[in-house]
Amino acid sequence: MKKKICLIYTGGTIGMVKSEKGYVPSEDAFLKLLSQLPEFSNPAFPDYETIVFTPLLDSSDIAVEEWNKMGRTIASRYAACDGFVVLHGTDTMAYSASALSFMLENLEKPVIFTGSQIPLYELRSDGRDNLISAMLLAASEHIREVCIYFGGQLLRGNRATKLSSDGMHAFDSPNYPPLVKAGIDFKFRLTADLPPANGPFRFQPFEAMPLGVLKVFPGIQFDLFESIMTESLRGVVLESFGAGNVPSARTALLPVLKKAHDHGTLVVVRSQCPEGKVNLGSYAASLSLKEIGAVDGGDMTTEAALAKLYYLFSKGEKPEDVKALMEANLRGERS
């Protein structure tokens, strides 16, 4: 039987047209372009339905509300469709794919994010292959997770990050090999490291909440950040040097983080290096973070760490459980 794919267009370059203000998404242009793609009427192509979001967005404007809308849409079509393709701007695609990977609990079907660097209507668009391959992969029996297909690779969504603002291979997952490489055939790398579903599919909406991402740099004056470290800040992802290292006491980091910790803010340490992992305590420069109760972010991306904080707090997990769960592998987001 033919598979049925739900194609959701949220916005992004793939369906954009030129306007006086620069590129803007357009529903009419997108639907017209789709109807002109011969692949969509090829008998070997899966059946599909199209859902177009209003308003269509540049992905810079996508946040919690839109993640919930994507999650709710997928949940409402979950029983009727075999797979999902989410067309999305590239700028925040890795954040959205990470968010959806947590929201969609016990997912057993493919959810493939894709988009393009050049709009579909332009001659050299990369959108055509990205869209068609994503549709075919969404019809696959082998995938039961949220992924990003881009530039010939299928990546685990919560491992992916945008690495190029203008290259056609804009995404990579430096700490995790691609799930599929697209050559003449799709070469699947079947994995056993994705925790299995342990109940029926369920959509967990996120709540908007105060979270932060703080990048450490040489000479950072942490006391300037003290004013944002209030009781209302639920969590902060600290982008440290190397394996979790931060400047020593001279720059007043520890008192600020200690204060945050005492307020109940969860401090998650990840590395500024795209590749490799945090290992708190391997250097004296990171031991202090361990001592104030910071979470070892391992090899998670910032996108995944942030999405996971939203998820765990939205689920109402107790603070001590959030720490343990941040250090556990829930959706293949960390090794």
Does position 91 interact with ligand ASP (CB under 6 A)? The reply is yes
CB of 115 or CB of 247, closer to ligand ASP:
115
Query: Which range of residues in 67-75, 87-95, 146-154, 297-305 is near ligand ASP by CB under 6 A?
Result: 87-95
CB of 125 or CB of 140, closer to ligand ASP:
125
Catalytic residues: 13
CB of 112 or CB of 243, closer to ligand ASP:
112
Q: Are 6 and 81 in contact (CB under 8 A)?
A: yes
CB of 113 or CB of 203, closer to ligand ASP:
113
* C-alpha pair distances (Å), 88 with each of 124, 186, 305, 311, 320: 19, 22, 20, 21, 35
Does position 115 interact with ligand ASP (CB under 6 A)? The reply is yes
Question: Which residues 6+ apart lie within 8 Å of 290 measured at CB?
Answer: 280, 281, 296
Nearest position to ligand ASP, beta carbon: 89
CB of 85 or CB of 243, closer to ligand ASP:
85
Does position 13 interact with ligand ASP (CB under 6 A)? The reply is yes
* C-alpha pair distances (Å), 120 with each of 39, 88, 252: 14, 13, 50
- Shortest CB 92 distance to ligand ASP, Å: 6
How far is the C-alpha of 21 from the C-alpha of 16, rounded, in Å? 12
User: Quick one: which of 329, 254, 248, 328 has its CA closest to 291?
Assistant: 254
- Shortest CB 62 distance to ligand ASP, Å: 8
How far is the C-alpha of 171 from the C-alpha of 162, rounded, in Å? 5
- Shortest CB 131 distance to ligand ASP, Å: 13
CB of 21 or CB of 250, closer to ligand ASP:
21
Query: Which range of residues in 11-19, 27-35, 75-83, 127-135 is near ligand ASP by CB under 6 A?
Result: 11-19
Residue list 30-59, contact with ligand ASP (CB under 6 A):
58-59
Does position 90 interact with ligand ASP (CB under 6 A)? The reply is yes
- Shortest CB 117 distance to ligand ASP, Å: 6
Q: Residue 159: helix, strand or coil by DSSP?
A: helix
Q: What are phi and psi of 80, to 5 degrees?
A: -85, -20
Q: Are 52 and 87 in contact (CB under 8 A)?
A: no
- Shortest CB 274 distance to ligand ASP, Å: 19
The H-assigned helical ranges of 78-174 are: 93-103, 127-138
**Size of site (CB under 6 A) for ligand ASP:** 11
- Shortest CB 89 distance to ligand ASP, Å: 2
CB of 115 or CB of 157, closer to ligand ASP:
115
- Shortest CB 113 distance to ligand ASP, Å: 11
How far is the C-alpha of 12 from the C-alpha of 26, rounded, in Å? 10
How far is the C-alpha of 156 from the C-alpha of 96, rounded, in Å? 12
Query: Which range of residues in 44-52, 88-96, 104-112, 152-160 is near ligand ASP by CB under 6 A?
Result: 88-96
Q: Are 111 and 154 in contact (CB under 8 A)?
A: no
CA 244 to chain centre: 22
Does position 117 interact with ligand ASP (CB under 6 A)? The reply is yes
End-to-end CA distance of the chain: 37
Exactly one of 12, 212, 244, 297 binds ligand ASP (CB under 6 A); that residue is 12
Interface with ligand ASP (CB under 6 A): 11-13, 58-60, 89-91, 115, 117
